[in-house]
Amino acid sequence: MTDSQAPTSPAAAVGTNPVAAAPAGVRTVADVVTPEVVAQLTRGVTGSGRTANHTPFTGEKLADLPESTPEDVAAAFARARAAQPAWAALPVRARAAVLLRFHDLVIGRQSEVLDLIQLETGKARLHAHEEVQAVAVAARHYGRRASAYLRPKRHTGVVPALTKVTELRQPRGVIGQIAPWNYPLELSVGDALPAFVSGNAVVMKPDTETALTALWARDLLIEAGLPPEVFQVVLGEGPVVGPEVVKHADYVSFTGSTRTGREVAQGAAARLVGVSLELGGKNAMLVLEDADVEKAAAGAVRACFSSAGQLCISIERLYVHESVADAFVERFAARTRAMRLGSALAYGADMGSLVSERQLETVTRHIAEAVEKGATVVAGGVARPDIGPLFHEPTILEGVEAPMAVCSEETFGPVVSIYRFRDEDEVVELANATPYGLNSSIWTRDGRRGHRVAARLRTGTVNINEGYAPAYGSVQSPMGGMKDSGLGRRHGSEGILKYTEAQTVAQQRLIPLAPSFGMDDEKYAAFMSRSLKAMKAFRLR
């Protein structure tokens, strides 16, 4: 079904959410993914086989793509490894300039990538634009701050004034990056930017179904001045290509499920190479009794249903104080039922499609099981094949409890469960009662209280009076998960230094750190003991 064929009247729909009308002259697959575009984007991509990707909007094929064998992956790493030293030899500012030029190109040509993101993921256009924003912010930040993060640092030596110590940051070499399908621009090139500016090459395996977006970003980086051989892309099935990336990489960056993350970590550990993992979440939003209920309801729509809930930091558990629960649920449900669903390559829809049959099956299974065991559907609850094969209404559940799967398992779709609580201690305990620890959200009029509660939550990020955007978008600060939600951080100093090896260079001057000037071992030991006491007295570190 094309955009122009989608029903535009709520009366034609099988559920309550209206359908966003497609504007006249809307672009189609044939307009966006032309043979010329595919040929341009796949230049230099290693693959002796053939594969294809498809759009969730209709299920139709978007493009035929190269598929990599294990030998192709090894060849890609060889090319990247050969090109990396010359790239690393450039001054940091020269590498950073590529990121700043890339920033301008992304913003200037955003309509191209917005079309690709929508076609490959099924997102609403505004949700696709979140990726443009995130990549631009990361490119600007590391383009401006990389020199400060990477510059040599002086440290106090073992004998002040006589031991000169410098900490250097050396690139690891070739980074193996395995990127997911849900944010194909931000979670591919967004994570690669700090790796490039710190002097590394990257071999990336994006998800095949969203490969065109990652390839578009690679094409723009090359236009911005990145040497083509420094950025290799390999495509293919995860179980085949993913382990080959881990097998050859000097460091592995992975975003995906907790189950696969464990496998990646084991493969990296066997080779004694570092790894960063952003994994699953079962994120909680806390609406305290002093919250602005209207603002919290509007924020919950953003927090729960952006990208159809296919966002690792989106909210799936919503805890509301019993004194405001009825008012909140009424407002939240009304806003949710009013959300417009649509597939047009244009602004106007509030939510798009799920990305695959697998995601749709999980959503429908979680809802059906919960209802069967006594939960109530407050809003949504049904699939929308009248719009597209993978559309599902944003859904609110009440009465969810263990052992319903939706209570504890990550749904990764537009489904949120509401729970009522009595006091602050109870809700903190409930929010922390999960093996995950990625993101959380607190709504309160009292900023100090919000910060106090935030410090008690075991999540890598906490947002006060918003769902996820403030913490994620503040790229000078680290972002990542605790517990089963991952290892390492993206953004800030940790997001770039993880792609480097720390090297300490110590120069001893005038006297050695050994018996000298006629001292025997005993006198040298006594001399050093007195020196250590003196350094403590002078508060030397």
Residues marked active site are found at 278, 312
Measuring CA to CA, which residue among 247, 217, 226 is closest to residue 86? 226
Q: How many residues does the chain have?
A: 541
Tokens of 421: 């609580």
Query: What backbone torsions phi and psi does residue 186 show, to the nearest 5 degrees?
Result: -70, -40
**Which residues are CB-neighbours of 525 under 8 A, at least 6 positions away?**
none
Distance CA 132, CA 518 (A): 68
Distance CA 125, CA 350 (A): 9
Q: Which amino acid is at 53?
A: N
Tokens of 462: 């906490």
Q: State how beta strands 274-278 and 486-487 pair.
A: antiparallel
Q: Helix (H, G, I), strand (E, B), or coil: what is residue 371?
A: helix
Going across the sheet that includes 486-487, the strands are 231-233, 201-205, 174-178, 251-255, 274-278, 486-487
**Which residues are CB-neighbours of 411 under 8 A, at least 6 positions away?**
309, 316, 362, 363, 366
Instruction: Point out which residues pair with 114 in neighbouring strands.
Output: none
Residue ranges of E strands in 181-230: 201-205
Q: At what angle do helices 293-305 and 325-337 cross, to 10 degrees?
A: 50
CB distance 298 to 465 below 8 Å: no
250 alpha-carbon distance from chain centroid: 21
Give the residue ranges of DSSP H helices in 373-468. 405-408, 424-432, 447-454
Q: How many helices (H) and strands (E) does the chain have?
A: 19, 20
As a whole number of Å, the end-to-end CA separation of the chain is 69
130 to 123, 187, 225, 354, 468: CA distances (angstroms): 11, 12, 25, 17, 12
Q: Which amino acid is at 456?
A: R
CB distance 232 to 80 below 8 Å: yes
Measuring CA to CA, which residue among 24, 121, 125, 146 is closest to residue 350? 125
Distance CA 267, CA 273 (A): 9
